[in-house]
Amino acid sequence: MIVLDTHVWLWWLSNPELLSPKAAGVIEKAVAGGEVHISSISAWEIAMLVDRGRLELTIDWRDWIRKSESLPFITFVPVDNTIALRSVSLPGDFHQDPADRIIVATALTLGAGLVSRDGKIRKYSQVKTIW
């Protein structure tokens, strides 16, 4: 079971050549087992990035997210109280970006590896990262 960071989700579906070979292989294996998880905060992040002009998609972001939701091997994980509260009290030293904190808390709550290229997340020893 894996959780995809927002940029990994985008790259995997739109620019898979940007993924490391290890990340691509782990995702492929998780797809076969139907164990790809994405935090709902990532949908929020994509919408915000498009709205602010920092990300362009080839189709409307709503349609892009709906198409992702229709893929049978992806499960979107809502930000429930357990994840929200866990994101506030992550052990050790982790930066304050709310979306990253929720994504990390999601992976920790699920007991899943987190696929991310983000250096700040990869340096955080409390979550298993894959890149």
Amino acid at 129: T
Q: What domain count does the chain have?
A: 1
Structural domain for 95, as ranges: 2-130
Instruction: Name the residue among 44, 16, 49, 47 with its Cα closest to residue 115.
Output: 16
Tens-digit pLDDT profile for residues 13-35? 999 999 999 999 999 999 999 99
Tens-digit pLDDT profile for residues 75-131? 999 999 999 999 999 999 899 999 999 999 999 999 999 999 999 999 999 999 999
State residue 57's pLDDT score. 95
State residue 80's pLDDT score. 98
Instruction: Name the residue among 117, 115, 120, 97 with its Cα closest to residue 41.
Output: 97
Question: CATH number, domain at 59?
Answer: 3.40.50.1010
Kindly state the average pLDDT of the residues 38-44.
98
Contact 2, 38 (CB under 8 A): no
Q: Strand pairing partners for 130?
A: 115
